[in-house]
């Protein structure tokens, strides 16, 4: 233990106050959450500011937004509190059948479309009293949403994870061409010439009109005509119906049944890189019983 620190100024309750302020972004709401007066919460914030030498939370309208320093500390504070509650205070054994809280699962558009019904059924069967929140995430916002929404796990394709997360590979997804058989006929295989002559639709959450496929074609001295991009698969599926358009989509999405259309899939005439689907979770929750149970449930359903 470092003896050069003034430990008398450090109070575990200050970390609890920090966590509540970070979650609610409101002094009054944080006070209500912790069952203390608003003045007591304001006093805790003042002590935190002195202790950490930073404003931590600054008022913008009716919201107390975290500073860069607060954002960088949030995961550390949560980790400390989780260790105290999970390892020091001997929590009750987690029993899914008795759990009455919330399972919060982040999914990319792709993963939400495919897996949310299956996960809902499995969780409901094992934990019939819990609520389930599916939160749409992507590569640019998942870190922030894990903190803001208190997500238990996240499913999708997320390269370059940092130390705040742990992960497990679920499977590799391949791509296929999807198009309307009423427009193109019963085509089982598209030639490269056909592929390049047809207008393309892209599933593009960020609205980009260029993907790795276009870069690959450029290396072949070829190009395709991208006509439209949309943020989710259902929109693209609607666009393909009765139009001379094709889309490169994940095979599992193309295979989903229950649509009243004549869309069919065919192998792509060019190589399209597979992408890995992973299950990720906050490192601080790695040993928590609820998180372990939820991870095992996801892996059993998806792998």
Within this chain, do residues 61 and 192 fall inside the same structural domain, yes or no? Answer: no
In a domain, 36, yes or no: yes
- The pLDDT assigned to 80 comes to 87
Residue 1 counted as domain residue: no
Same domain, yes or no: 160 and 196: no
| Domain end residue (candidates: 69, 88, 107) | 88
**Do 164 and 183 share a domain, yes or no?**
no
Based on the fold, state whether residues 100 and 224 are members of the same structural domain. Answer: no
Q: Please give the full DSSP string across 72-117, using - where no structure is assigned.
A: HHHHHHHHHHHHIIIIIS-PPPP-GGG--SEEEEEE-HHHHHHHHH
The reply to whether 102 and 142 lie within a common domain is yes
pLDDT for residue 38:
94
Mean pLDDT computed over every residue of the chain: 89
Q: What is the DSSP string of 213-257?
A: HHHHHHHTT---EEEEEESSHHHHHHHHTTSSEEEEEEHHHHT--
How do residues 25-65 score in pLDDT, each as one tens digit? 999 999 999 999 999 999 999 999 998 999 999 999 888 99
- Which domain does 151 fall in, by range? 96-172+276-302
Interstrand relation of 175-180 and 245-250 (parallel, antiparallel or unpaired): antiparallel
Rounded to a whole number of angstroms, the CA Rg of the chain reads: 24
Both 151 and 193 in a single domain? no
CB atoms within 10 A of CB 123: 22
User: Within a 10 A sphere around the Cβ of 255, how many other Cβ atoms?
Assistant: 11
* End residue of a domain, out of 27, 55, 88: 88
| CATH number for the domain that contains residue 38 | 1.10.10.10
Asked if 78 and 222 sit in the same domain, the reply is no
For residue 147, give the CATH number of its domain.
3.40.190.10
* Residue 114 pLDDT greater than 70, yes or no: yes
3-state DSSP call for residue 168?
strand
Instruction: Let me know whether 164 and 295 are in one domain.
Output: yes
Q: Which residue has the higher pLDDT, 204 or 57?
A: 57
Residue among 101, 136, 89 nearest 234 (CA): 136
Phi, psi of 130 (to 5 degrees): -90, 160
Looking at residue 84, its pLDDT comes to 81
Q: What value, to the nearest 5°, has the Cα angle with vertex 159 and ends 154 and 162?
A: 80
Q: Tell me the pLDDT tens digit for each residue of 231-274.
A: 888 899 999 999 999 999 999 988 887 787 889 999 999 888 88
| Total count of domains within the chain | 3
Write down the pLDDT at residue 107: 95
Domain assignment present for residue 2? The answer is no
Widest CA span in the chain:
78
Answer yes or no: do 181 and 248 share one domain: yes
Question: How far apart, in whole angstroms, are the C-alpha atoms of residue 87 and residue 85?
Answer: 6
pLDDT band at 78 (very low <50, low <70, confident <90, very high): confident
pTM: 0.67
Indicate whether 69 and 124 sit together in one domain.
Answer: no
* 102 plus 160 within the same structural domain: yes
Domain for residue 53, yes or no? yes
Q: What are 263's two structure tokens? A: 């869309």
Neighbours of 167 (CB within 10 A): 14
How do beta strands 175-180 and 263-266 pair?
Answer: antiparallel
Task: Specify which residues 249 forms β-bridges with.
Answer: 176
Per residue in 7-34, pLDDT (tens digit) is 566 788 999 999 999 989 999 999 999 9
Q: Which of 38, 62, 88 is the last residue of a domain?
A: 88
Whether 167 and 185 share a structural domain: no
Report the pLDDT value the prediction gives residue 206, as an integer from 0 to 100.
78
Q: Distance (Å, rounded) from C-alpha 185 to C-alpha 188?
A: 9
């Amino acid at each position: 233990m470092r003896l050069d620190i003034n430990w008398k100024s450090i109070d575990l309750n200050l970390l609890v106050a920090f966590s509540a302020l970070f979650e609610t972004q409101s002094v009054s709401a944080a006070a209500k959450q912790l069952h203390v007066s608003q003045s007591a919460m304001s006093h805790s914030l003042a002590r935190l500011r002195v202790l950490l030498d930073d404003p931590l939370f600054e008022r913008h309208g009716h919201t107390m937004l975290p500073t860069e320093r607060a954002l960088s500390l949030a995961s550390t504070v949560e980790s400390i509190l989780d260790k105290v509650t999970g390892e020091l205070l001997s929590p009750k054994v987690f029993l899914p059948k008795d759990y009455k809280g919330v399972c919060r699962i982040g999914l990319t558009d792709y993963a939400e479309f495919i897996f949310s019904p299956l996960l809902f059924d499995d969780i409901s069967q094992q934990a019939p009293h819990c609520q389930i929140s599916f939160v749409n995430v992507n590569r640019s916002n998942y870190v922030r949403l894990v903190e803001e929404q208190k997500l238990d796990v996240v499913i999708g394709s997320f390269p370059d994870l940092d130390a705040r997360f742990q992960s497990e590979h679920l499977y590799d997804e391949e791509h296929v061409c999807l198009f309307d058989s009423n427009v193109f006929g019963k085509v089982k295989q598209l030639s490269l010439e056909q592929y390049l002559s047809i207008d393309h639709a892209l599933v593009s959450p960020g609205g980009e009109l260029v993907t790795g496929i276009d870069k690959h074609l450029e290396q072949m001295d070829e190009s395709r005509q991208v006509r439209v991009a949309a943020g989710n698969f259902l929109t693209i599926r609607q666009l393909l119906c009765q139009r001379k358009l094709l889309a490169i989509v994940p095979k599992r999405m193309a295979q989903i049944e229950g649509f009243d259309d004549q869309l069919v899939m065919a192998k792509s005439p060019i190589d399209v890189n597979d992408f890995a689907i992973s299950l990720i979770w906050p490192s601080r929750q790695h040993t928590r019983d609820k998180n372990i149970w939820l991870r095992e449930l996801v892996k059993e359903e998806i792998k």
